[in-house]
Every structure is written in C-alpha cells, then in structure tokens.
Amino acid sequence: MTDKITTDGITTNQYYELCKTIKDLLNSKAEEYIKNHEVKQFLSDDPFPETEKNKIPDIERVYYLLINRLKNWVCKEQIKKDGGSFWKKKFRNKPYGKCSCGDDFHIGDEIEFHHKIRDGRHPIPTHKKCHAQIKNKK
C-alpha cells in the first residue's frame, strides 16, 4: 500500500500503525479484564437475548465495551479542546479586528470560531453567517 501524506501530516501508514496498536491494546485489555469478577458479573447480569446468544463471544463483548469507553474518552477530550471556552470568553468580551468576511466585530455579534483549537491551530473568530459560508465552500 502506498503511504499517502494527508493534510494533517500524519501518513496513512502511521495512522494504520496507530490503529493496530490501539486494537492490540484493546484485545490485550479485554483478555485481562474478562477474568475480572465484576466484568464477569456484568456479562452475566446483561445477557444477550436468546435469539442473539452465542453470536458474539464474551471476550468480544468486553472488547466492544472498551471501544465504547474509548469513544467516550475521545469525545470528552474533544469537548475540552473544541469548546475553546477561554478563547470565546476572551474574544466576546473584547472583540477586535476584522473577520475574513470583512465586517468589524462588535460586542453582541453572533461569533463562531473556525478551526477548533484541538488540532493546534488557533481558532479564527468569524461572524456566524460568514462561518456558514466558509463551511459551505469546503
């Protein structure tokens, strides 16, 4: 497979390597956790319906429980970064400059931020209407 460079600089091979590492870790942890009394109890207390029984082994159920936990963690991490509440409060209290659409900012304007902070780029304040135009151009 050709290793493609993506817009964020992380190559496809690096991404697939990361995914394999995460999958291996989740499989390893599922094998470890399935031996845990509380996990066994959960699986026992929450069985599959009779029609679905034995379609997914318990080890796979634990794997997917871990995937759900991982998704929750990712969402929380993104919310912490994407919220950009510090930047928003600071800017809304003291708007300055012009946005990429050319209008001045004023207190009370409906302001949204383009480029959420999570990917390392500073958020660019835009008027709500302008932000919709920017997003539609992609």
Tens-digit pLDDT profile for the chain (138 aa)?
678 887 778 899 999 999 999 999 999 999 999 999 999 999 999 887 777 766 888 999 999 999 999 999 988 887 776 655 666 666 666 665 545 566 666 666 666 776 655 555 666 777 676 666 666 655
pTM of the model: 0.58
Pinpoint the alpha helices (H) of the chain: 12-33, 37-45, 58-82, 85-93, 128-137
In a domain, 7, yes or no: no
Residue 125 lies in a domain: yes
Q: Is residue 6 part of a domain?
A: no
User: What single DSSP character describes residue 97?
Assistant: S
pLDDT of residue 28: 98
Give the separation between CA 111 and CA 134, rounded to whole angstroms: 13
Q: What is residue 92's predicted lDDT score, i.e. its pLDDT?
A: 63
pLDDT at 25: 98
The pLDDT assigned to 1 comes to: 62
Are 125 and 108 part of one and the same domain? yes
Domain range for 53: 12-82
17 domain residue, yes or no: yes
Here the tokens at position 24 are 């291996």
Residues 6+ positions from 61 with CB-CB distance below 8 Å: 43
Whether 94 and 73 share a structural domain: no
Whether residue 115 lies inside any domain: the answer is: yes
**Domain co-membership, 121 together with 107:** yes
Final residue of a structural domain among 49, 66, 82 = 82
> What total of structural domains would you count in the chain?
2
- Asked if 75 and 100 sit in the same domain, the reply is no
